[in-house]
Amino acid sequence: MNVMASHQKRLNVLRQSMTPSVFAARIRHTYVVVATIVLTTAVLFAGLNVFAVAYFAFREKFRPGNTAVAHARNYGISIEALSSLYPDLTARDIGDLLQETWTDNAMVYEPFTLFKERPRRGKYVNVHPGGFRFSSMQGPWPPDRSRYVTVFVFGGSTTFGYGVRDEETVVSHLQRLVGDQQDSKPVRFYNFGRGFYFLSQERILLQQLLSAGVVPDAAIFIDGLNDFAYTTEPAGPGRFREAVEGGRSVRSNLRSALQRLPAATLASRAVEKIGRFLAPRVTEVEPAPAAANSETLPLDDVLIQSVITRYVQDKKLIEAVAVAHGMSVLFVWQPVPMYNYDLRYHLFYGGSFGRAALAGPGYAAMSNSKREAMGSNFLWCADIQVGVGETLYVDPEHYSPAMNGRLAECIAKELKIGDVE
């Protein structure tokens, strides 16, 4: 009897729980719980994004005065060591220069070449809407070939002059070395160096300028580093590929939208900083090796050969275009820190050169078997730092003002201005 009574009691409770009023109450309770969780999550998410926006705005406002210190700290060197590379600048001036170089240099889209340096005016870095960086004794735009011998200089960020002032780039040094020292028309150089560019993009840029009716008397191409850093395609192809191949995907669009949120950017940078903090660092007790050629990395001979072949083919195409337009051309193989440079003097070497490390064995391959076959318009400047016991770089890869001067001297010695008048 007790068992039956207990069973009947449970049935009665179950019937009561299934009544409309009780069921509705449970629905309301569940709704309140879920709504509270969703609303709380949304508020926290919105708050995190507001915090991220405020953080970036605050950091942007006060960044210029701290950039030099942050730059030095990032590479584990003292502010005094960094300042030694800029003897006539204060720490705040260095910060302003680095701000204009790295923070204010967001690339903008350009047809055919994919991207270019954003036109801007600053205290130290100035980029003309025509696509070139201002140099010493800057010539007019469009060029006036009736008054000046016009020389366009193409290259990557080392040619543009990341980390140095307008008047300290290799092009400005060339301008002062060559500009008005001719018996006839003065020479005006135009700095078309752009971050990440290698010879293929420079060829396209030259063709675009020629198509627009802007024809120089001569063109100089300074390359080597980025050719080995970007072996199969230009920098930053992901966004272009996603726009073409994934633009119609809901998942792709959602992922892209989430990645642009301030909170996502903040989280990404936090992870990057943590990784940098946890990564082993090179200290003064562990000096860098004397030559980067000893860096241990897989030597991909096929990849190196493909880079050299691409360079040779681009060179031939440029030469053909130059002949058609009555131009002279000079191809310069630039110096890089991972080849024939004593890394004991490299303040910013952290044990590896990342994707650019292939330039070490790549340069060796060029030196051993290819440079002699490049022709009389090919200039090898990769050895100008041999035996130079001083710091020649303002970061892992970009030249100091003094190094830009050395490279300009190497080029000026072989630049036959009389041939292009």
**Per-residue pLDDT tens for 189-224?**
999 999 999 999 999 999 999 999 999 999 999 999
pLDDT value of residue 246: 58
Share of residues in the chain with pLDDT > 70 (%): 74
CB 168 within 8 A of CB 161: yes
Question: From the centroid of its chain, how far is CA 54?
Answer: 26
Which residue would you say has higher pLDDT here, 331 or 24? Answer: 331
Whole-angstrom Cα distance, residue 75 to residue 394?
A: 11
Amino acid identity, residue 84?
A: S
| Confidence category of residue 77, pLDDT binned at 50, 70, 90 | very high
CB 236 within 8 A of CB 106: no
pTM of the model: 0.78
Average pLDDT on 284-288 reads 36
pLDDT value of residue 212: 98
Whole-angstrom Cα distance, residue 93 to residue 174?
A: 25
CB 121 within 8 A of CB 158: no
How many CA atoms within 13 Å lie on the side-chain side of 351? 9
Q: Where are the domains of the chain?
A: 18-74, 105-244+288-420
CATH of domain 105-244+288-420: 3.40.50.1110
Task: Express each pLDDT in 265-278 by its tens digit.
Answer: 667 666 655 654 55
pLDDT value of residue 356: 93
| Residue 183 pLDDT exceeds 90 | no
pLDDT value of residue 26: 72
Whole-angstrom Cα distance, residue 48 to residue 37?
A: 16
CB 219 within 8 A of CB 151: yes
Which residue would you say has higher pLDDT here, 351 or 59? Answer: 351
Whole-angstrom Cα distance, residue 129 to residue 117?
A: 9
pLDDT value of residue 297: 46
Whole-angstrom Cα distance, residue 14 to residue 8?
A: 10
Which residue would you say has higher pLDDT here, 419 or 131? Answer: 131
| Residue 370 pLDDT exceeds 90 | no
Whole-angstrom Cα distance, residue 187 to residue 421?
A: 9
Whole-angstrom Cα distance, residue 148 to residue 70?
A: 43
Residue 95 neighbours by CB distance under 10 Å: 20
Share of residues in the chain with pLDDT > 90 (%): 58
- Please report the DSSP string for 332-401 in residue order: EE---TTSS--GGG-TT--S--GGGGGHHHHHHHIIIIIGGGG-TTEEE-TTTTTT--S--BSSSSSBPH
| Confidence category of residue 174, pLDDT binned at 50, 70, 90 | very high
269 closest CA partner among 61, 74, 115: 74
Q: Which of 24-33, 232-241, 267-276, 358-367 has the highest mean pLDDT?
A: 358-367
How far CA 259 is from CA of 10, 13, 235, 243, 263, in Å, comes to 54, 52, 19, 15, 9
